[in-house]
Structure 1
């Protein structure tokens, strides 16, 4: 089974010339499903959501998504407090924590947006327990992937503060079984196992950069392809240096589950 991972499209600050190459690359890759890890828009305005809706309506495969911090209002404080996800639900999807179950994998969506934090996110105890239950139920039979906007671990060079509850989530999920976390937010690429305090590497983290935004932060526009085979996964980074060249493979990583932990495949 093949998944495509997109994140941080940021309509309202997206490069319109990259939209056709991205759609062409997705059609050529022929994923079974597409996962979008939040930040569809820049400022949660109807005009921006209209562009985002037009884009997802043109996707060449079924898709699921979670919201990002930019998908809730920033300047409309009343809306941010009382109905922060109303525009997202109106334009993108009613469900902010969707679930996809197939013979090859389970993808569990996680809404990490937080109305009282304009940039950071939050994962609470109920969400941690729910995802741990998903991992325990499915990890022995199929790959479990968690889709969220905010990363659960990041390097010391990242200025953005790690979201609230992330360390507790990583430890709880490592105990539950092997899984993959798909995130965005940082506009950076990263693929590596996370090692828990008990020296377990049951978490494979995949941070994907921005698909369309002009805020590149020194990285190219990109998306990811994930091919799953039993208890193994192959991850490809697809990058575009500019609209004329389009998206092309720029790296490949292969991991497999060995004794409950992720390790590089031979």
Structure 2
């Protein structure tokens, strides 16, 4: 049951928003729990906002694709910076999505639900001449044009969520820790009156509103289902949409309340918040070191 959901539905819509599952350093207990929640509760759709793998290796992709194809609900998948080959430069530059073949119909796919569309926005790139490493976000003009064209093609009155991997906030002007073109992208999406933009990358959930010259833009971030935790335990977002109301709950095995799970600012990168000025959720379970990647 992947792709578009055309069934009639008059009540609230429930979405599960997952991100950064990182097969290769996955948290098996958290993944089994999330899958059981999906099987039992049957949300109207699942949006996965990137980083399916840790190092884009073939075994990691096979495991990630097997897990995703077993979900019996409509699914859309964004590409994260960890999902583009690290070690095979030919594939990185000339066939970056080759390893998604088992789920290619889900990758950057628009989901059409009753009076709601989830529209993809690509924020990953094969290379960035402005900076190295190439892990941060960049909304190219082409990617933004594709997203805006998809939004503008929707029937009048359709509610819209945009799904991306990187949060769009631009934090620094030194060319190192930005989502390039993020500020302009937020403004034009706010001008299209989208309900919000779903993202991941920083491994802690958040629910923030950015003020732009075109109006406010809701930014909703999901945590991780991997061992690479930051300041919160593994989690996913449950999103309830009723009319233009969007309610977000950060669900987690430890049953930490949502306000204690969410960080109050988007960090500059996806590293653990180990400096005093970096955003930390109230639960503040920052690990001393990241688990090793083999």
> Which of 109, 123, 138 is the aligned partner of 1:122?
138
Secondary structure in structure 2 of the residue aligned to 1:237: strand
Contact 2:48-2:76 within 8 A present in 1 as well: yes
Q: Which runs of 4+ in 1 moved over 3 A?
A: 132-140
Instruction: Give how far 1:175 is off.
Output: 2.0
Higher normalized strand content (fraction of residues): 1
Normalising by structure 1, we get a TM-score of: 0.82
Q: Note closer, same or farther for the CA distance 1:40–1:51 as it changes in structure 2 (3 Å cut).
A: same
> Which of 18, 24, 35 is the aligned partner of 1:12?
24
> Which of 253, 257, 264 is the aligned partner of 1:240?
253
In 2, Cα distance between equivalents of 1:165 and 1:155: 12
Instruction: Give how far 1:121 is off.
Output: 2.4
Tell me which residue corresponds to 1:260.
none
In 2, Cα distance between equivalents of 1:175 and 1:120: 25
In 2, Cα distance between equivalents of 1:214 and 1:28: 24
In 1, Cα distance between equivalents of 2:158 and 2:219: 17
1:226 aligns with 2:239: yes
Q: Note closer, same or farther for the CA distance 1:225–1:249 as it changes in structure 2 (3 Å cut).
A: farther
1:175 aligns with 2:191: yes
> Which of 116, 123, 133 is the aligned partner of 1:105?
116
In 2, Cα distance between equivalents of 1:5 and 1:139: 24
Secondary structure in structure 1 of the residue aligned to 2:198: strand
| Range moving further from structure 2, 23-32 or 213-222 | 23-32
Q: Deviations over 1:98-119 (max 9, x none)?
A: 1112223110012221111431
Tell me which residue corresponds to 2:78.
66
Secondary structure in structure 2 of the residue aligned to 1:48: helix
Q: Note closer, same or farther for the CA distance 1:166–1:53 as it changes in structure 2 (3 Å cut).
A: same
Aligned length: 239
Normalising by structure 2, we get a TM-score of: 0.75
1:28 aligns with 2:40: yes
Structure 1 unaligned spans of 5+: 242-247, 253-266
Instruction: Give how far 1:133 is off.
Output: 4.1
In 2, Cα distance between equivalents of 1:12 and 1:216: 14
**Pairing 1:1-266 to 2, within 5 Å after superposition:** 1-88=13-100, 90-94=101-105, 96-117=107-128, 118-136=134-152, 138=154, 141-153=157-169, 161-197=177-213, 200-201=215-216, 203-211=217-225, 213-241=226-254, 248=255, 250-251=257-258
Q: Note closer, same or farther for the CA distance 1:5–1:62 as it changes in structure 2 (3 Å cut).
A: same
In 1, Cα distance between equivalents of 2:228 and 2:140: 30
Q: Deviations over 1:114-133 (max 9, x none)?
A: 11143112212233233334
Instruction: Give how far 1:65 is off.
Output: 0.7
In 2, Cα distance between equivalents of 1:22 and 1:100: 20
In 2, Cα distance between equivalents of 1:51 and 1:120: 25
Structure 2 unaligned spans of 5+: 1-12, 129-133, 260-294
Q: Note closer, same or farther for the CA distance 1:178–1:56 as it changes in structure 2 (3 Å cut).
A: closer
Contact 1:236-1:249 within 8 A present in 2 as well: no
Instruction: Give how far 1:216 is off.
Output: 0.2
